[in-house]
Amino acid sequence: MSRIRITAFQWVPPFAQGLARDLRVRWALEEAGLPYEEKLLMQGEQNGAAHRAVQPFGQVPVYEEGDLTLFESGAIVLHIGAASPALLPIDPVRRAQTVTWMFAALNSVEPHVQNLASIDFSHANEEWATTRRPAAEKLAVSRLSGVAASLAGRDYLVGQFTAADVLMVSVLRFLNHTRLVTDDPVLSAYRARCEARPAFRRALEAQLAPFAKYAPAA
């Protein structure tokens, strides 16, 4: 297998540490048992021509494996899962269910969760944000309720840990600054269960290590 390299940020502000989307790719690689190396971007490099050539929106992560270059964390996790029964079940029914929940995490849940997080982290002191936040929270809670209802009576989204849980828990973590997940016993236990996995702990430590190393001088 060709060498795998992921592109991530050298440093991000504290509120984003542990939340940047390369974490979900690192986690998937750890679950699949696939070694990788990292390419770290300094702030501003994401807008340069070299990075835009492989990530047209100037974001991270980027995944490189031989002649293959991918962007969009969901597509990368799906690619990793295609080679790992630990992430995408062999059984065709559960495999299809897993892909469905992967799309649900990114399309039905993440936009509303990310909208709320963006208001809280980037616009909290703006008048429009104060007005809009209650509605944004209500939408986010409605999506969380759907996830919780689907998890009732099971440990994971399709009955076993899969790539869908990698993505869903990565999305739920955007709400770590709130009690929206913590106060829901089903979601709280689900998030804790997934975050207790050794692969997640390794992925998180790998993401945080450069942030500590390259932190700006006080």
> Taking the domains of the chain in order of start, what are their residue ranges?
4-86+199-213, 92-197
Provide the pLDDT for residue 17.
96
Residues of the chain with pLDDT under 70: 1
Provide the pLDDT for residue 2.
83
Q: In CATH terms, are 4-86+199-213 and 92-197 the same topology?
A: no
Q: Topology of domain 4-86+199-213, per CATH? A: Glutaredoxin (3.40.30)
- Assign domain 92-197 to a CATH class: mainly alpha
The rounded radius of gyration (Å) of the Cα atoms in the chain is 17
Do β-strands 4-9 and 68-71 pair in parallel, antiparallel, or remain unpaired?
A: unpaired
pTM: 0.96
Residue with tokens 């692969």: 199
The pair of structure tokens assigned to 140 is 């986010």
Provide the pLDDT for residue 132.
94
Name the DSSP letter for residue 178: S
Sign for the pseudo-dihedral over CA of 62, 167, 172, 201: negative
Provide the pLDDT for residue 144.
98
Provide the pLDDT for residue 116.
97
The Cα 19–Cα 28 span in angstroms is 15
The Cα 10–Cα 24 span in angstroms is 16
Provide the pLDDT for residue 166.
98
Provide the pLDDT for residue 125.
81
The residue type found at 171 is V
The Cα 147–Cα 150 span in angstroms is 5
Provide the pLDDT for residue 129.
85
